Copies of this chain bind each other. A is one copy, B any other.
């Protein structure tokens, strides 16, 4: 699940990003309206957290532009006492809003409630290079081959690697993302999981072309 966070307040942006990352979501960030729209185009997030007050283009304009091409859930951020803003935001198609300041816990609760209600059928398949991941169906397609079914853990691992395609992801981060905890004994789990995943997605699992080992560091997904 990928989310776009658009806010000009750097600290708040990082806080929200951190909160969502900890909760297991992938996060992309933007500091102003135009950047938010570019990121939206480039990343096709599954949910957007959008500050109303931003330089460049206001949250309203961004929201309107997003609604022109997608029904992705949008949460607007606003300061207290600006009820006119809220009405306008909701009329423009925003799905929910939060008044600043808010607690991370509240944000998460709202996001979860929204995702629960939001249909979620517009979750675009995550892809890089020849690898296309369909989260809903729990499948990957390599090139034009038949889609391969993945288990829950395989899906999470591949999602994590795909989100950082071309870059090495450390074993610690993978452990946290896939199992939610880290301790040295669990490296064995990762070994196993990588092995099983390679059986499914590599042409020759003995000489991995896609899921390569970065010795001593972690793993990476190679894209051309």
Q: Which of A54-103 contact B (CB under 8 A)?
A: 83, 86-87, 90-91, 95-96, 99, 102-103
Residues of B within 8 Å of A168, CB to CB, are: 136-138
User: A165-199 vs B: 1/0 string, CB under 8 Å?
Assistant: 00110100100100000000000000000000000
Label chain A's interface by main secondary structure: mixed
Contact A214 B106 (CB under 8 A): no
Question: What's the Cα separation between A176 and B119 when bound, in Å?
Answer: 12
Contact A109 B136 (CB under 8 A): no
Question: How far in angstroms is the closest Cβ of chain B from A216?
Answer: 5
Question: What's the Cα separation between A215 and B87 when bound, in Å?
Answer: 43
Chain A: residues with Cβ within 8 Å of the partner, total of: 40
Contact B83 A102 (CB under 8 A): yes
* A138-B168, A138-B216 as given contacts; A95 in contact with B109, CB under 8 Å: no
Residues of B within 8 Å of A120, CB to CB, are: 173
Contact A116 B215 (CB under 8 A): no
B87, B116, B119, B136: the one within 8 Å of A106 (CB): B87
Contact A109 B137 (CB under 8 A): no
Contact B118 A117 (CB under 8 A): yes
B110, B164, B176: the one within 8 Å of A90 (CB): B110
Q: Which residues of A contact B (CB under 8 A)?
A: 83, 86-87, 90-91, 95-96, 99, 102-103, 105-106, 109-110, 112-113, 116-121, 136-138, 149, 151-152, 164, 167-168, 170, 173, 176, 214-218, 220
Q: Which 10 A-B pairs give the minimum distances between C-beta atoms?
A: A138-B217, A90-B109, A87-B109, A136-B168, A90-B113, A137-B168, A117-B117, A83-B106, A152-B216, A121-B164
